Structures are given as structure tokens and as C-alpha cells.
């Protein structure tokens, strides 16, 4: 049976390289657990693999949300009577 450590996480403001690296690491966990559980055929190992896959999937979703938050445009409210200003990026 495979014992995983905690899924890798990202820094609060990851760049594209950090996000790619983290997602690749998490996808490796997902693929390895799925392959091992299919080969074994053991229902308990399959259940544990599904739990691990679900955990890694949640970590991937959180990493993508953190990346999107850190890299989204900051839009400040403006009065309609003023000209629209360009978007400010962090």
C-alpha cells in the first residue's frame, strides 16, 4: 500500500511555474493512486485511493483559486461621470 505525505501546497502568490509544478505533483499522486488501486482490485485499497484522489483534487482546486485571486485584475469602483481608467494588475 502507498502512504502519501501531505499534498504539496503553493505560496500565497504563486506564479505560473509554481502553479504548474504544484498541479503536476498533485496529478502524479492522482494517477499513481488510481493505477495502483486498479491493479490491486482490493476494495479497501480502492476506497483509500479514492480518498487520496479526492484530497489531491481539492488541493488542486485550492491552488487554482489562490492563483486566480493573486493574479486577477483589481477593479476599483468609478463614478459613471468619469472616464473609465485602465485595469490595475498587482
Q: Which domain holds residue 55?
A: 1-90
pLDDT confidence of residue 74: 61
Residues facing residue 88 across a β-bridge:
74
C-alpha cell at 10: 503553493
Query: Reduced to 3 states, what is the DSSP secondary structure of residue 88?
Result: strand
Q: How many domains does the chain have?
A: 1
List the chain pLDDT tens, one digit each, 90 residues. 444 454 444 444 567 888 888 889 999 999 998 898 889 888 998 899 899 999 999 998 998 888 888 877 665 666 667 666 666 666
Q: Alpha-carbon distance 50 to 72, whole Å?
A: 32
Residues 87, 73 contacting (CB under 8 angstroms): yes
Q: Alpha-carbon distance 75 to 77, whole Å?
A: 7
Amino acid at each position: 500500500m502507498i502512504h502519501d505525505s501531505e499534498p504539496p501546497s503553493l505560496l500565497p502568490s504563486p506564479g505560473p511555474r509554481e502553479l504548474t509544478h504544484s498541479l503536476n505533483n498533485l496529478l502524479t499522486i492522482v494517477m499513481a493512486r488510481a493505477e495502483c488501486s486498479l491493479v490491486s482490485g482490493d476494495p479497501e485499497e480502492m476506497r483509500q485511493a479514492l480518498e487520496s484522489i479526492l484530497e489531491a483534487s481539492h488541493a488542486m482546486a485550492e491552488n487554482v483559486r489562490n492563483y486566480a485571486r493573486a493574479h486577477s485584475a483589481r477593479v476599483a469602483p468609478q463614478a459613471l461621470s468619469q472616464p473609465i481608467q485602465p485595469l490595475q494588475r498587482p
